[in-house]
Amino acid sequence: MSETLEVVRGVIEDVVGPEWAVDRPITMETSFGSDLELESIEFVALAEKLQARYEKVDFVRWLSEKELEEIIELKVGDVVTYIDTCR
């Protein structure tokens, strides 16, 4: 498993709570909408924590270029891949 995926998984667990994340394995194919059922405020918290961890990654710009449906369908792997391409 990649280092980036481990960091993203840890941030997700921090946002949703480790006890919730235990029941659902977080992989590259895990979707933020249907699998994790993140509320918009949780998604904002996730983006803020990832931005703090990866300062060179412009999450706001990346997300602003996406349509609402694309954001809803985002998978953990999409975020991991974006982070890796920015580093």
DSSP notation for 31-42:
BTTTTT---HHH
- Return the structure tokens found at 36: 């994790």
Contact (Cβ atoms closer than 8 angstroms) between residue 15 and residue 45: yes
| Amino acid at residue number 47 | A
pLDDT at 86: 92
Is the pLDDT assigned to residue 1 strictly greater than 70? Answer: no
Whether residue 6 is predicted with pLDDT greater than 70 in this model: the reply is yes
- Position 81 scores a pLDDT of 97
- Which superfamily, per CATH, for 3-86? ACP-like (1.10.1200.10)
The secondary element (H helix, E strand) that includes residue 6 is: helix 3-16
Q: What distance lies between CA 25 and its chain's CA centroid?
A: 14
> Which pair of structure tokens corresponds to residue 54?
């990866």
Amino acid 21: pLDDT? 64
**pTM for the structure as a whole:** 0.89
Q: What is the domain partition of the chain in residue ranges?
A: 3-86
pLDDT (tens digit, 9 = 90+) per residue, 26-63?
Answer: 899 999 989 888 888 898 899 999 999 999 898 888 98
